[in-house]
Chain A
C-alpha cells in the first residue's frame, strides 16, 4: 500500500533583501503512514511551515516532489486540497460569518456532497461543543471558541489528511489541551495527521513518528522509541539537542 503522503528531495528557496538567498527547505524526504500522527519537530525558522505550505499547495516547491494521496502538489493541486484539511496559527476565520456559516462554507467550497452538508455541519457543531454559539458571529467569540470553530472548519469536508501547523501557538494551557484532544480524536477516526510543533512535550504525547527538522533539513525521522535507542537519550528535548548539535549523524528511517 502506498503512503498517503510522500515527499522526495523537496526544496524551497526564498530571497530576502536583508538576508539574501534562503533555503528554507533543503532537499527533504519522508513518508507518512495511513492513520498515524507524523510530527515535524523543529525550532522557529527550521522550515516546518514552509514544508507544510508546500504540501497544502499554498506555495510551490523550488525543486523535488511531493504527493498527497497520489496527487502531485504542483500538477494536481486541487486534488490535493480536496483531500486535505489545513490548520495553522496564521489561518484565520472570517469575522463577519457565524460559526455555522463558516463550517457550511468550508464544507461546500471543499466540495463535500451538497445533500449532506447540513447534516455534517450539525454533526461538527455538536461534536466540537459549539452549539450554544453556532449562530454567533465569529468576531464575537472568545479565542477558545474560535479555536474550536477553526478545527471544525478544517475537517468540515471530512478530509483523509489533516495538517496542523503549530496549532497551539499563543493558546493557554486549557485551549492547547483541547486542541491536542481533537488531534487524538481525529487519529481514532483514521485520519492521517501531520503535526508541526516546537514544543517537545506535545510531540512526545501525540506523535507516532517524529521528524527532527533543522535549518531546512531533516536530521532524524523515526518513532520516539527508536530515536531514544539511536541517541541513548531519554527525553525528546535531549534527543533534539543531540541531532541539532551534531547534524552530521542523521538517522532517517522512511
Chain B
C-alpha cells in the first residue's frame, strides 16, 4: 500500500462527497437534526394531545331502557369524584339516532343500555355476562382520537359507578365493611427512571442508526462507484498511476468515514440533548448514560459502520449504473433494518446464539447497555464477531473491485455465454432464494395450505422437487452427476444405521455442550428436541409425510442440486456449512433453524464423503422417523443422563468416522465440467 497515494485519494473522495449537496443533507444534516426533531416532536405531540384531551368536552348520549339509571349513576359518581370531573368534561346530547350522530360527529360516543332480558337475546354479547344481567355498551369510533379517549374515560367512570353500586348492594345485605379494605394492591418498580427510558431508547437506537447509516452511506457509496462508472470518471482514475489497492481502500475508507460520522453525530446528539438536557425532553424520559457506556456503544457501532460501508460499496460496484444500484439498495436496506430490530424480540438476551448474528447482536447489546445491565463477556464476543465480519467484508469488497467485469460492466461473464452448468453455478443461489420466498409467502398467505399434509406436499414436492427438476432440465445438467446417484460401500450403510437413533440425541447433546461455551436460549434448546407431530394422523401418513417425503425431496434439492451448483465455487468445509445453513433457513421456525442447520451440515458432509445422495436420504428419513417415534413414546432426549449423552455422541462420532474412512477420493467424487 502506497500511503501517500492512499491519503491523496481519500482526501479527493471526501472532497467530492462533501461538495455533493445530497451527501451533506443525508449524511450530516439529517442525522444531526433527526434526534432533536424526534425529541421535540414527541414532547410537543404528547403535550398537545394531553392539552387537547383535557380541553375537550366529550359529547355523548345515553339510550335504551336503563338510560335514567345509568345517567344517575354517572352523575353521582362524578359528584363523588370532583378530581375526575375537573380534568374531563362530559356533556350529554339528546339524540334520536345516536349512530348517525356519532357518524356525523355531533357526539363522540354513546352509551347503549339493555335490560337483562334484552341482552339475553343478543348472540354476540360478552361471554362473561351471566343470564339476566343488564348490558351497558359504550359505542365509539376507534379511528378518532377524541372518541377513543372519551370512551376510555367513560368506561373508567362506569366501572367506578359499578363498584359504588356493588358496595351499596353489599351494605344493604348486611356487609358493613369497606370491601376495598380486604387487601390493598400496590406496585413497586425496582428499575430507575433512567433504566426504563434506557429500555425505550435501547430498543430503537440500533435500528435508527442502521437506517441513517444505510441512507447516508448509500448516497456516498452509490456516487463513489456506480456514479463514477456512469459518469466515466472511474475509467479516468484507473488510467492513473494509483494502484487498484489504493483506489479501493480510499473509496472504502471514505464510505466508512461517512457511516462513522453519522455514528459520531448520534453520539454527540445523545450527549447534547440527553445528557446535557439542552432541550426539554418528553415527560418521564431520563436516560442515564455514563461515559463508559457511551464508549462501549461507540466500540460496537464502529465495526457496524465499516461493515455497512463495505456492503454498500459492493452493492454499488456490482451495479452497472446508478439506477441499478438503487434497485439493489432496497432489499439490503430491509435486511439491515430487520436485523437491527432484534432488540424488540422479547426474551432474547445477548447471552444467547444471537451474539453471533451480525447487526442483531449489536442491537441486543445496545439495549442491554442502555438498561444498565451490560454483559461484558458477551459484549466482547459481539465486538469480535462484528470486527471479524467487518474485516472479511472489507477484503471481499476489495477483491470484488479488482475484477475487470465489475470495473467495466459492459463485459458479460463467460458463464452468461456458456450457459449450462457454468450458468447454473451462478444462478443456483438465486433459485433457492426464490424457492424460500415462495414457501414463506405461501405459508403466510394461502389458507389452503394450512394443513400439514398440504403444506408438506407444496413445499417438498412442488417447490423443492419441482424446482430442482426444472433446474436440471433448464441448465441441461446430467441428473446422475448432479444428484450424486451412486452406490456406496456396504460399511457405509452400516454406519448410517448406527447413526439413525443417535443423530437426534447427539445434536441435543452437542447443543447442551455448546451451551456451556456459547450460551443458547432455552427456546432454541427446546426447538432442538421438540418434534413436529400433529395429533390424530395415521401412522403410515406420519411416516410418509414426515420421514419419506422430506428425506427424498430435501436431499435431492439440497445435497443434490444446491451442493452440485456450489461445489466448484466453495471448498468442502465451507460448502458443507453453506448448504447446511441454507437447509436450516428453509425450516422457517426461528428456533428450528440452528438444529436443522447442524443436521444439514452433517448430511452435506456425508454426501461429500460418500459421493452419493443415498446414505443422506436414509439418515434423513431414519432421523425424522426416529423423531416421530420418540415423540409418540414420550422419549425426551433432554432427560438423558450425561453418560447416555456421551454414549450417543460416541456412537454417532464412530459412524461418522467409518464414513470418513470409507470416503471416496475427490477425483472420483465428481467430474469437473
A15 neighbours in B (Cβ, 8 Å): 411-414, 416-418
- Identify which of residues 74-89 in chain A touch chain B, using a CB-to-CB cut-off of 8 Å: 78, 81-82, 84-86, 88
B414 contacts A92, C-beta separation under 8 Å:
no
A109 contacts B412, C-beta separation under 8 Å:
no
Write the nearest CB–CB distance from A251 to chain B, whole angstroms: 32
Write the nearest CB–CB distance from A22 to chain B, whole angstroms: 9
Q: Tell which of A59, A82, A93 touches B241, judged by Cβ atoms closer than 8 Å.
A: A82
A135 vs B525: C-alpha distance when bound (angstroms): 67
B240 contacts A81, C-beta separation under 8 Å:
yes
Asked whether A109 and B9 contact (CB < 8 A) given A15-B412, A16-B417, A90-B235, the answer is: yes
Looking at the complex, which of A94-102, A124-132, A203-211, A219-227 is the stretch in contact with chain B?
Answer: A94-102
A78 neighbours in B (Cβ, 8 Å): 241, 243
A58 contacts B417, C-beta separation under 8 Å:
no
Write the nearest CB–CB distance from B420 to chain A, whole angstroms: 13
B20 contacts A96, C-beta separation under 8 Å:
yes
Asked whether A111 and B233 contact (CB < 8 A) given A14-B411, A60-B404, the answer is: no
Query: Would you call A20 an interface residue if the criterion is a C-beta within 8 Å of the partner chain's C-beta atoms?
Result: yes
B239 neighbours in A (Cβ, 8 Å): 56-58, 81, 84-86, 91
State how many residues of chain B have any CB contact under 8 Å with chain A: 30
A110 neighbours in B (Cβ, 8 Å): 240-241
A58 contacts B238, C-beta separation under 8 Å:
yes
Asked whether A93 and B240 contact (CB < 8 A) given A15-B413, A17-B417, the answer is: no
Write the nearest CB–CB distance from A149 to chain B, whole angstroms: 12
A58 vs B235: C-alpha distance when bound (angstroms): 7
Q: Tell which of A56, A96, A106, A111 touches B19, judged by Cβ atoms closer than 8 Å.
A: A96
- Identify which of residues 113-152 in chain A touch chain B, using a CB-to-CB cut-off of 8 Å: none
A109 vs B13: C-alpha distance when bound (angstroms): 13
Query: Would you call A105 an interface residue if the criterion is a C-beta within 8 Å of the partner chain's C-beta atoms?
Result: yes
Q: Tell which of B15, B232, B238, B240 touches A106, judged by Cβ atoms closer than 8 Å.
A: B240
B411 neighbours in A (Cβ, 8 Å): 14-16
A87 vs B15: C-alpha distance when bound (angstroms): 24
Q: Please, which residue of chain A has its CB at the minimum distance from the CB of B233?
A: A92
A81 vs B246: C-alpha distance when bound (angstroms): 14
Query: Would you call B272 an interface residue if the criterion is a C-beta within 8 Å of the partner chain's C-beta atoms?
Result: no
Q: Report the tally of A-B residue pairs with Cβ distances under 8 A.
A: 83
- Identify which of residues 12-38 in chain A touch chain B, using a CB-to-CB cut-off of 8 Å: 14-17, 20-21
A14 contacts B412, C-beta separation under 8 Å:
yes
A157 vs B16: C-alpha distance when bound (angstroms): 22
Query: Would you call B5 an interface residue if the criterion is a C-beta within 8 Å of the partner chain's C-beta atoms?
Result: yes
Q: Please, which residue of chain A has its CB at the minimum distance from the CB of B17?
A: A96
B408 neighbours in A (Cβ, 8 Å): 53, 58-59
B9 neighbours in A (Cβ, 8 Å): 109
B29 neighbours in A (Cβ, 8 Å): none
A105 contacts B12, C-beta separation under 8 Å:
yes
B414 neighbours in A (Cβ, 8 Å): 15
Query: Would you call B242 an interface residue if the criterion is a C-beta within 8 Å of the partner chain's C-beta atoms?
Result: yes
Interface residues as binary, A136-177 with B (CB distance below 8 Å gives 1, 0 otherwise): 000000000000000001000100000000000000000000
Write the nearest CB–CB distance from B411 to chain A, whole angstroms: 5
- Identify which of residues 1-59 in chain B touch chain A, using a CB-to-CB cut-off of 8 Å: 5, 8-9, 12, 15-16, 19-20
Query: Would you call B131 an interface residue if the criterion is a C-beta within 8 Å of the partner chain's C-beta atoms?
Result: no
B418 neighbours in A (Cβ, 8 Å): 15
Q: Tell which of B232, B238, B407 touches A92, judged by Cβ atoms closer than 8 Å.
A: B232
Query: Would you call B143 an interface residue if the criterion is a C-beta within 8 Å of the partner chain's C-beta atoms?
Result: no
A242 vs B19: C-alpha distance when bound (angstroms): 53
Query: Would you call A108 an interface residue if the criterion is a C-beta within 8 Å of the partner chain's C-beta atoms?
Result: yes
A14 neighbours in B (Cβ, 8 Å): 411-412
A16 contacts B240, C-beta separation under 8 Å:
no
Query: What are 19 A-B residue pairs whose CB atoms fall within 8 Å in the complex?
Result: A16-B411, A17-B416, A56-B239, A58-B235, A58-B408, A59-B408, A81-B239, A86-B239, A91-B233, A91-B239, A92-B236, A93-B233, A96-B19, A97-B15, A109-B5, A109-B9, A109-B240, A110-B240, A153-B236
- Interface pairs A-B: 6 shortest CB-CB: A92-B232, A86-B239, A15-B417, A96-B19, A82-B241, A91-B236
Which positions in A face B, CB cutoff 8 Å? 14-17, 20-21, 53, 56-60, 78, 81-82, 84-86, 88, 90-97, 105-106, 108-111, 153, 157
Known A-B contacts: A15-B416, A15-B418, A58-B407. Give 6 more (CB < 8 A): A15-B412, A16-B417, A56-B239, A91-B232, A94-B233, A110-B241
